[in-house]
């Protein structure tokens, strides 16, 4: 089975051709980072317009790289939730048009399901061991940070174990990057500078690290950094690198600790990370190291499978189509995930 996937949930326009077994024939991504950089974050209206401008060329390029035609595909999968509704609408409408014109089945895919299943993608000639179900996954990105037990490739087989009460981990990285004058997106720059800094130089309190909960919080950590910057004034190059290392060490420590704790509570052998923050060098190293110490098996995706991409959407869609599922022309775009959220936002006892 060969599936065309489309992704337009935020600031990247993607199209990919993926086989049912996860083999990626093509994966094209048009990034809007430069477009939004001067604003320090994604501007929804600009994102929607850029998707509309680039989605057709991106789809054509994906088909060309895979050396296939629309007549040869077996279905169309598109991200329809959650995300920026205006951006999602572009992908959904184009997917409907392609499916209708080519006479192919259409399925909508939850963006979070795409990230959770991205570990099964097979890119190039590399061989990567895939996890077995069930596994516990940490999904960490700019918009979401949560732990899930995944018992199968469908949404009804996924259960949230804990999530952030406020900022997502990726959002915290970007906001701290902005506080330090590192530009947008801040995550990759912080990761790079952290390699030259001293993580012990600044003492940051790890949020919700010792309460035994699988819930998380990153807003207060961001506030700690803001207060340090306010008190010290302009930071030197060395101090900036040290603060990046200290901040990153704190965040990756919390994420790793919660993931391992979740796997042990669920008595699950396999742990997976996904989402944009899964590209972070230190997080990947710490998860693999801690999992090995505890006798667990860690699985980290290829870097191309961490950030938003259409290959993961095509793969998740292939499972829906193989199960006989179809969506109609009334498929909508929505900001709400199909996955049930158990973590309540905000402060206070639960």
Q: DSSP of 259-310, one letter per residue?
A: HHHHHHHHT-SEEEEESGGGG-HHHHHHHHHHHHHTT-EEE---HHHHSS-H
| 15 in a structural domain | yes
Q: Quick one: 203 and 155 in the same domain?
A: yes
Q: Is residue 335 in a domain?
A: no
> What's the chain's average pLDDT?
95
- 42-65 pLDDT, tens digit each: 999 999 999 999 999 999 999 999
CA atoms within 13 A on the CB side of 34: 2
Distance CA 62, CA 98 (A): 14
pLDDT at 223: 94
Q: Is the peptide bond before 187 cis (omega within 30 degrees of 0)?
A: no
Residue 11's pLDDT is: 93
Between 33 and 263, the more confident residue is: 263
| 168 pLDDT above the threshold of 90 | yes
Q: Place 233 in a pLDDT band, splitting at 50, 70 and 90.
A: confident
Domain match, 159 and 249 both: yes
165 and 235 belong to one structural domain: yes
Structure letter (DSSP) for residue 100: H
347 has pLDDT over 80: no
Let me know whether 143 and 291 are in one domain.
yes
Q: For tokens 């083999």, name the residue.
A: 23
Q: Name the residue range of residue 278's domain.
A: 135-301
In a domain, 286, yes or no: yes
Residue 28 lies in a domain: yes
Residue 129 in any domain: the answer is: no
Instruction: Please report whether residue 333 resides in a domain.
Output: no
Same domain, 68 and 194: no
Total structural domains within the chain: 2
User: Looking at residues 19-35, what average pLDDT do you find?
Assistant: 95
In a domain, 346, yes or no: no
What's the CA gap between 217 and 237, in Å, rounded? 28
Residues 66 and 211 in one domain: no
Place of tokens 């990726």: 170
Label residue 287 exposed, middle or buried (CB < 10 Å: 0-12, 13-18, 19+): buried
Task: Kindly state whether residues 69 and 200 are assigned to the same domain.
Answer: no
In contact, 216 and 145? CB cutoff 8 Å: yes
d(CA 65, CA 14): 13
Q: Do 155 and 108 have their domain in common?
A: no
Q: Which of 260-264, 326-330, 339-343 is predicted with the least confidence, judged by mean pLDDT?
A: 339-343
Copy the structure tokens of residue 299.
């699985």
At 307-327, the pLDDT tens digits run: 999 999 999 999 999 999 999
- Flag whether pLDDT at 350 surpasses 60: no
Helix (H, G, I), strand (E, B) or coil at 150: strand
* pLDDT computed for residue 252 by the predictor: 97
**340: in domain:** no
Q: What is the pLDDT of residue 128?
A: 76
| CA atoms within 13 A of residue 230's CA, in its CB half-sphere | 6
Co-location of 296 and 310 in the same domain: no
Residues 145, 231, single domain; the answer is yes
Is residue 205 pLDDT above 60, yes or no? Answer: yes
Q: Are both 92 and 162 inside the same structural domain? A: no
The CATH number for 61's domain is 3.30.420.40
Residues 150 and 284 in one domain: yes
pLDDT at 341: 87
pLDDT greater than 70 at residue 277: yes
Share of the chain above pLDDT 90, in %: 89
Sheet holding 297-299, edge to edge: 158-163, 145-150, 135-140, 270-274, 297-299
Rounded CA separation 36/51 (Å): 13
**pLDDT for the residue numbered 127:** 67
């Amino acid at each position: 089975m060969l599936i065309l996937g489309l992704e337009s949930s935020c600031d990247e326009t993607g199209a990919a051709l993926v086989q049912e077994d996860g083999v990626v024939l093509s994966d094209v991504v048009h990034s809007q980072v430069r477009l939004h950089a001067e604003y320090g974050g994604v501007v929804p209206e600009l994102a929607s317009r850029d998707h509309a401008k680039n989605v057709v060329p991106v789809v054509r390029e994906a088909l060309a790289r895979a050396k296939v035609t629309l007549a040869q595909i077996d279905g169309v999968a598109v991200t329809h939730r959650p995300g920026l509704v205006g951006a999602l609408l572009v992908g959904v409408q184009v997917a409907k048009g392609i499916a209708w014109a080519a006479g192919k089945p259409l399925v909508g895919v939850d963006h979070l399901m795409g990230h959770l299943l991205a570990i099964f993608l097979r890119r190039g000639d590399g061989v990567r061991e895939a996890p077995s179900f069930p596994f516990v996954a940490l999904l960490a990105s700019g918009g979401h940070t949560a732990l899930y037990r995944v018992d199968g490739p469908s949404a009804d087989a996924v259960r949230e174990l804990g999530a952030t009460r406020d900022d997502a981990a990726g959002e915290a990285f970007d906001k701290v990057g902005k506080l330090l004058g590192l530009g947008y997106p801040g995550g990759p720059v912080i990761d790079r500078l952290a390699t030259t800094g001293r993580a012990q130089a600044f003492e940051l309190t790890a949020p919700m690290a010792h309460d035994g909960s699988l819930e998380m919080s990153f807003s207060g950590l961001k506030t700690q950094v803001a207060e340090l910057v306010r008190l010290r004034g302009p930071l030197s190059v060395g101090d900036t690198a040290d603060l990046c290392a200290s901040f990153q060490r704190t965040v990756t420590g919390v994420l790793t600790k919660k993931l391992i704790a979740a796997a042990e509570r669920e008595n699950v052998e396999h742990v997976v990370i996904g989402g944009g923050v899964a590209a972070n060098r230190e997080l990947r190293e710490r998860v693999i190291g801690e999992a090995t110490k505890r006798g667990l098996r860690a699985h980290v995706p290829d870097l191309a499978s961490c950030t938003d991409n259409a290959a993961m959407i095509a793969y998740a869609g292939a499972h829906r189509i193989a199960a006989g599922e179809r969506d109609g022309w009334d498929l909508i775009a929505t900001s709400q995930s199909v996955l049930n959220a158990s973590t309540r936002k905000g402060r206070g006892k639960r």
